Structure 1
Amino acid sequence: MLGTSYFELAQAIYKATNFDDVVDLLVAKLPSLIGTEEAVISGTSPIAGVCSVFGHGPMKKLVQERTEVMNRLIGSHPIMNRVDFNNPGDLGFAMSDYVSPEEYRNAEFTRQVYGDKVSADVMFGLLVAGVRRKAYLTCYFSTEGLSVQARERFDAILLTVRGVLDRLEAYNVERAVRQRVFGASAPLAIFFLNQSSEVCPLNHAAVTFAESHWLPDEAVRQLTPDQTSKIDLVVDGAWINPVTADWRDVTLDLGAGASTIHALPKLSGEVILMIPIAGKDPNAEEAVTILTRRQREIMDWIAEGKTSAEAAIILGISPRTVEKHLEAVFQRLGVENRIAAMRRYLDLKRGI
């Protein structure tokens, strides 16, 4: 049985609001739950290999100090040819599932990375399975022979953490995009770069940009391999942790000459691209197309000083409907009340 301790840890992880909280819970609570000496989380990049190590114990320190050696010798890992580390499945697995303790201890990778601090057995689990970042949970055991209960609890926690980190990554992307859009001093043309190296317009300003600078039948802009590699290299350094990335600027020509483009990578492999457009948008209404027509009508009346009840009478709808629209407006504009919403709405209409 999983037991009370498991459910307490799972509940705490589910409530976590950032990656660091998840790490702290795992390294503090998981060892006693499954009988491991220490839990370590490592983040990997397709460009740099192991690039970040999280934890609080001596094994974390050792791995962090020997990351360069680990990346250099990863091809000689004792089970590298027996497990697809990029897609190991939904459950955790142990070193002893594939090699004997003696073979593990004598492997060059083990000797060079761990030296005389080699563990009797190790369990692995894939926490983040993104294209641009992966993260692994590694638990080190001082004794051989992992119990069935330890494996069950490890697998259950692994699945719980995966779901939470997926949610946090989606939230982090949404927040970063919202902050960039609403903090911009000029209109932004928004595109996304897919895994086929195609740049696709996402908003009205991007469509206008494409119509002005791309060929008439060019629905998407195909990047060259050099352009794609340049973006990949820049955004590889954007990750704060395996589920949180920040904006990076890259100079690129998308048809209007070389310009500075804001780039935000996603775990899926896609990259959000934003290009500041000089001057104000000639059509002010396009600046607030994140709101529906009805929501813009309501905000126009709110800006005139009308109450929800008065706006409801004017528009022929119920006050409750007005309030529901306002709740959606607050969320889309990233504000908490109608005064802030009104100010932000008017700024958007003016192209600020």
Structure 2
Amino acid sequence: MLGTSYFDLAQAIYRATSFDDVVDLLVAKLPGLIGTDEAVVMGTSPISGVCSISDHGRISKILREQIDTVNRLAASHPIQSRVNFDDPGDLGFAMSDHLSPEEYRNSAFAREVFGEHAMADVMFGLLVASVRRKAYLNCYFLGAGITVQARERFDAILLTVRGVLDRLEAHNVERVVRQRIFGASAPLAIFFLNQSSEVCPLNHAAVTFAESRWAPDEAVRSLTPDQISQVDKVLDAAWINPVTADWRDVTLDLGAGPTLVHALPKLSGEVIMMFPTSGHEPAGEEAVTILTRRQREIMDWIAEGKTSAEAAIILGISPRTVEKHLEAVFQRLGVENRIAAMRRYLDLKRGL
């Protein structure tokens, strides 16, 4: 049974309005709920390693003081060869599931980081799983023997927290994007950088920019490895905590020479990009210009019942190019298939 204490904590977490609120609840309430000596929330970055540790308790104090040692020895921790920490599964796991307390205490990691304060067992859970940030919930046990009830409560809280953090991240993205758009003194060209390192236009100003600067059948602009590295390095500093990011400026050439681009990373791995441009926002029938000329040509033929292959022959391009444009159309119209895209496209043409 999860018990009343679990539901009280779950309800408090559900009402939390920030990542820090969630952390405070976990480190204060979880030890009593599952019998752990200390709960620690640790944030990690693919570039800088462990980058944040919750500011509570003796173990967290040791970890903060030894953060350089933690990052230096993390790869040699004996559990790293037995668990994929990037994808450990939906539920939590205990270190004792994979190695003995003696093996852990005798490891270089435990000796150099904790010394005589090394715990007998640790439970781990992945709170945030993202390309750009991860966060783990670590519960340290002085004595061996984690109970079945402790595991059940840990897993239940873990799943609750994940849902709340997803909501908090989405709320933050909506808030800062809205502030940027409403606070702009000129129209903004809005793009997003997907996980394939492709820059895709999202609004009328961005499509107009792409049509004037990109090749006719360039549905997206692929970043070079150097550009990707530059963006990743700048955005690594954008995170206030593992679920909350703010804008960072990065200079990129998206077809018009070096341009200062406002960039906001998301946990999905995508990046929202904006920069001021001249022009005006479309209204009514003009809203269909959120698509490029080529994409409108393709959608006109799709609306006539043509297949991708038939549209490709008519337009003198390859079927793969047609499909790539259709992928961009789905993104810009917010749909998932060509039937929905056709309906939305026709509505836009009618000014609906």
TM-score category, normalised to shorter length: 0.7 to 0.9
Kindly report structure 1 stretches of 4+ aligned residues shifted beyond 6 Å: none
Separation in structure 1 between the aligned mates of residue 21 and residue 8 of structure 2, nearest angstrom = 15
Separation in structure 2 between the aligned mates of residue 127 and residue 197 of structure 1, nearest angstrom = 25
Q: For residue 41 of structure 1, what is the aligned residue in structure 2?
A: 41
Query: RMSD of the alignment, in Å?
Result: 1.4
The one-letter amino acid paired with 1:128 is V
User: Does structure 1 conserve the Cα–Cα contact (< 8 Å) formed by 2:187 and 2:281?
Assistant: no
User: Does structure 2 conserve the Cα–Cα contact (< 8 Å) formed by 1:37 and 1:142?
Assistant: yes
Deviation at 1:92, TM superposition (A): 0.7
Q: Share of identical aligned residues, percent?
A: 74
Q: For residue 245 of structure 1, what is the aligned residue in structure 2?
A: 245
Q: For residue 27 of structure 2, what is the aligned residue in structure 1?
A: 27
The one-letter amino acid paired with 1:192 is F
Matches within 5 A, 1:304-323: none
CA deviations over 1:255-299 (Å, ceiling 9, x no partner): 011010000001111111001114xx346749x97xxxxxxxxxx
User: Does structure 1 conserve the Cα–Cα contact (< 8 Å) formed by 2:205 and 2:281?
Assistant: no
Q: For residue 76 of structure 2, what is the aligned residue in structure 1?
A: 76
Are 1:104 and 2:104 an aligned pair? yes
Separation in structure 2 between the aligned mates of residue 67 and residue 42 of structure 1, nearest angstrom = 11
The one-letter amino acid paired with 2:108 is E
Q: For residue 121 of structure 1, what is the aligned residue in structure 2?
A: 121
Separation in structure 2 between the aligned mates of residue 260 and residue 285 of structure 1, nearest angstrom = 28
Gaps of 5+ in 1: 290-352
Matches within 5 A, 1:1-352: 1-278=1-278, 281-282=279-280, 285=283
Separation in structure 2 between the aligned mates of residue 95 and residue 218 of structure 1, nearest angstrom = 50
Gaps of 5+ in 2: 288-352
Separation in structure 1 between the aligned mates of residue 86 and residue 40 of structure 2, nearest angstrom = 18
Deviation at 1:115, TM superposition (A): 1.1
The one-letter amino acid paired with 1:147 is T
SS of the equivalent of 1:79 reads helix
Separation in structure 2 between the aligned mates of residue 46 and residue 276 of structure 1, nearest angstrom = 31
User: Does structure 1 conserve the Cα–Cα contact (< 8 Å) formed by 2:205 and 2:280?
Assistant: no
Separation in structure 2 between the aligned mates of residue 58 and residue 187 of structure 1, nearest angstrom = 51
TM-score by length of 2: 0.79
CA deviations over 1:154-193 (Å, ceiling 9, x no partner): 0100000011101111111111111111111111000000
SS of the equivalent of 1:140 reads strand
Separation in structure 1 between the aligned mates of residue 185 and residue 37 of structure 2, nearest angstrom = 52
Distance 1:213 1:6, change over 3 A: same
Separation in structure 2 between the aligned mates of residue 176 and residue 132 of structure 1, nearest angstrom = 18
TM-score by length of 1: 0.79
User: Does structure 2 conserve the Cα–Cα contact (< 8 Å) formed by 1:23 and 1:55?
Assistant: no
Deviation at 1:55, TM superposition (A): 3.5
CA deviations over 1:51-96 (Å, ceiling 9, x no partner): 1111411111111111111111111112101000000001111111
Separation in structure 2 between the aligned mates of residue 10 and residue 77 of structure 1, nearest angstrom = 32
The one-letter amino acid paired with 2:65 is E
Separation in structure 1 between the aligned mates of residue 196 and residue 152 of structure 2, nearest angstrom = 39
SS of the equivalent of 2:114 reads helix
